[in-house]
Amino acid sequence: MIFRGLCAAVVAAVLAPQAWAQSRPALCLLEVQGVHYIGGACSFAPLEKSGSFRITDAQGRVMAQVNVGKKDEGKAFWTGPQGGEVASVKLGDADRSGGCWLVTAADPDAKDSVICAWGPGEKVYVGPSPADPDPKSTLFYGARVGMYDEIAAREGLDTSHALVKTRPSHDGAVQFCREYAHDYSQKCIAEQEKDPHGNTITGDCPNKTFSDLNGGKYVFLGRTKPGSGEVFADYSIRDLASGQILDGSTASGYDVMLGFYQALCPATAPKTQR
């Protein structure tokens, strides 16, 4: 039998009292502030009808636990990196999303923590969450987390025939699925890697024109002049098809287009982070 999202199943299950704390095989993931501690076969033990549970790694060393207070909300604990017999180190308040419980980091610069459990037959990816992408070797094609490709080739940068080619990033697909879609399935990752956007951008850097991945044309106009209406970006980029200047919002694609220009024409592009 395949259990889909053991955390959710336990909430709905009605087990005899003696069944609590009886462990069963599972697939688990435990990451604490971005550090990977459990990823693979584990033991899963339901603790009470509320849905509280404990996971333990295959070596019986590292343990994490969620004490459920009400539907989809609980308190998360673990043994600490050295392991132990009791999960007494508090991680924080946890919210359930499918088979996972997420603990949002109090520090905006820190990574979130996650405790997940699935049935042993589930097709989920339990490898480590990727590190943040290196801007020197990746290119964002969208504004959402994980929407980046790896740079495969660069040719003629800063010339009239500048070109950058990309290839799908597995790390980007994992980040998108986990952090944006909250989907840990292998299917989500495979679909994201096949996202049908193009793989080449080009630029005529002396004239400050460039293309996006789908062949759209833009021109970089330099620093935005004071009193430019509803354009709130530091720099102005015009969409040559519509004649409109990107207003700096996420919806306008400004950050992505500025990134394309920076990749193609680094000598004349602003050095500021997007």
Would you place residue 10 in the very low, low, confident or very high pLDDT band (cuts 50, 70, 90)? very low
Angle at 242 between CA 238 and CA 246, to 5 degrees: 35
Q: What would the pLDDT profile of 163-201 be if each residue is shown by its tens digit?
A: 999 999 999 999 999 999 999 999 999 999 998 889 999
Q: For position 21, what pLDDT does the model report?
A: 59
**pLDDT digit string (tens) for 39-75?**
999 999 999 888 999 999 999 999 999 999 989 999 9
C-alpha distances (whole Å) from 180 to each of 24, 173, 176, 192, 248 are: 30, 10, 5, 12, 22
pTM: 0.84
Query: Where are the extended beta strands (E) located within the chain?
Result: 24-32, 35-46, 53-57, 63-70, 73-78, 89-97, 100-103, 113-118, 138-140, 148-155, 162-168, 200-204, 209-211, 217-223, 235-239
pLDDT in tens, 224-260: 988 766 778 999 999 999 999 999 999 999 999 999 9
Q: Which two tokens stand for residue 46?
A: 């339901």
pLDDT at 5: 46
pLDDT higher than threshold 80 for residue 2: no
Tens-digit pLDDT profile for residues 142-158: 999 999 999 999 999 99
DSSP SS3 for 3: coil
For residue 144, give the nearest of 7, 68, 256, 226 by alpha carbon. Answer: 256
